[in-house]
Structure 1
């Protein structure tokens, strides 16, 4: 099983390769980097223009693969290789490669429009995320790290899918000896003036929900203890904020942190559905984020 990295030709951001190598240092598996170039149109008799186009695409693929190999060489402890493929659809080619190589995880970078240190999906990676049957790890723009994964933060929600996600993350943390941080986000707009009659009702609802969320976090922590996690390897946080940026920013984030959120399985053709909470977490996450399909952990 491999980490399969989607790497764009002429890419000026090596964040996906960096993240894949970080993951491989934590959970050793080969890293396979694949660059996808456009495929020419098949014609009974290829014209000179067609042949020139195919030659150009092959050159782009070779150039990208060579660049990826140079970047892999920075991580001598990682078993890495790079290649290129042609196809009409970048997401489809990567999914086909993932199936062929029995990939454990897909790793991609952020869009060129993303701010430094932030995550933003391009149109291609967005389609890839929504077609994935395996976890997809997304690196922030310009991501660099020499550390292994030391702490995994789980966006936890008290439902069947949330508990399933927790068990999957717990198994991963056990293998890589990482700490677990359970987090439930409470994102509520600023309260209305006390003269507004609905304000008190809203406050009561939020406080009731916070109480239930806190109880669920306690149960989740007990669940991890029963699975053999020591007390100092688990932490929990109920984080409040007036918006998602403030809520996520209220947590401390350090080198070696990875965030995990669950998605909802909605249809065999689109196996990953990012609900509103998961999508907002992804946009505001300051660390690499892994989206696990079919869990529905954040919606």
Structure 2
């Protein structure tokens, strides 16, 4: 069993089913531990707040039933526990649970987009991406249709053209080792320039810089870890994403924005564009993370 411990925020709807399926698949591939968490409003656990006790009993019983039903969708090979937690918000409850269990990853369902398997950031994910110090995985719509037996077929780390990707590269390497998946280092080099500029020269300069960054990242990999290196090109970020091949069982790691506070996540504009086009789950890694790193 690996040290990978995953907190999945479960809700009894399609988004929750997508999150559960993704977390189950990653935990199965890594022989990790899955903590399935339902978060209830803290008022329901606060005796000082006058609330209907019959409703509270119903809410707790219903939540236990939903969790029990969710557990039937987990693989027999996955070590898992079911939890009910109370918090002011769903995101706060998940972050507290991640700290409680010393988790390496929080998994939630992303809000549905206009196309199957593409995602947008919903309210819960948005709050997590602005407050979590633990990496967050966003399960796109339809993730529940990918069988756990597929495992994790590849880890793609999107390496930016600026320095400071150490945490992201470390997280990608650890996840690739834990899931026994091949690692791909990727740079997205869009040619999105104002009219009148020499696009050929700009493309050459940008590509050369990207190649150097990828070369440096590849050299920084620990012993025993091999990775392919790829540069995606296109007239826009969206075109660059579409030009790539993606596996059904793939996971993509991006770093949080350089504007994010230390130990916090923030989804930058480029990563947000990538998320809208990706047909596979995205994991956002803070600049420094809470707790342990999986081995």
Using the size of structure 1 for normalisation, the TM-score is: 0.83
The correspondence for 2:40, drawn from 37, 41, 45, is 37
Contiguous gaps of at least 5 residues in structure 1: 193-197
Change (3 A) 1:207 1:116: same
Matched residue SS, 1:68? helix
Change (3 A) 1:126 1:248: same
What is the Cα deviation at residue 239 of structure 1? Answer: 0.8
The worse-fitting range, judged by mean Cα deviation, of 257-266 and 6-15 is: 6-15
In the other structure, the counterpart of 1:294 is 287
Question: Distance between the aligned counterparts of 2:49 and 2:168, measured in 1?
Answer: 52
Deviating runs (4+, > 4 A) in structure 1?
10-13, 41-45
Q: Deviations over 1:62-109 (max 9, x none)?
A: 23212211222xx11111222323332111111111111111211111
Q: 1:61, 1:85 within 8 Å by CA — same for their partners in 2?
A: no
In the other structure, the counterpart of 2:103 is 103
What is the Cα deviation at residue 267 of structure 1? Answer: 2.8
Q: Which has the higher contact order (CA 8 A, sep 6+)?
A: 2
Q: Deviations over 1:210-266 (max 9, x none)?
A: 122123323333444x7333xxx4211111122333211211111321111011463
In the other structure, the counterpart of 2:234 is 241
Question: Distance between the aligned counterparts of 2:141 and 2:271, measured in 1?
Answer: 19
1:59-208 aligned within 5 A: 59-72=61-74, 75-113=75-113, 115-143=115-143, 144-145=146-147, 146-189=149-192, 192=195, 198-200=196-198, 202-208=199-205
Question: Distance between the aligned counterparts of 1:56 and 1:199, measured in 2?
Answer: 64
**Pair member with larger Rg:** 1
Q: 1:152, 1:178 within 8 Å by CA — same for their partners in 2?
A: yes
Aligned-CA RMSD value: 2.7
Change (3 A) 1:114 1:122: farther
Q: 1:114, 1:120 within 8 Å by CA — same for their partners in 2?
A: no
Q: 1:39, 1:54 within 8 Å by CA — same for their partners in 2?
A: no
Matched residue SS, 1:235? strand
Q: 1:140, 1:288 within 8 Å by CA — same for their partners in 2?
A: yes
What is the Cα deviation at residue 112 of structure 1? Answer: 4.2
Contiguous gaps of at least 5 residues in structure 2: 289-295
Q: 2:30, 2:180 within 8 Å by CA — same for their partners in 1?
A: no
Q: 1:40, 1:53 within 8 Å by CA — same for their partners in 2?
A: no
What is the Cα deviation at residue 35 of structure 1? Answer: 1.3
Q: Is structure 2 residue 292 aligned with structure 1 residue 281?
A: no
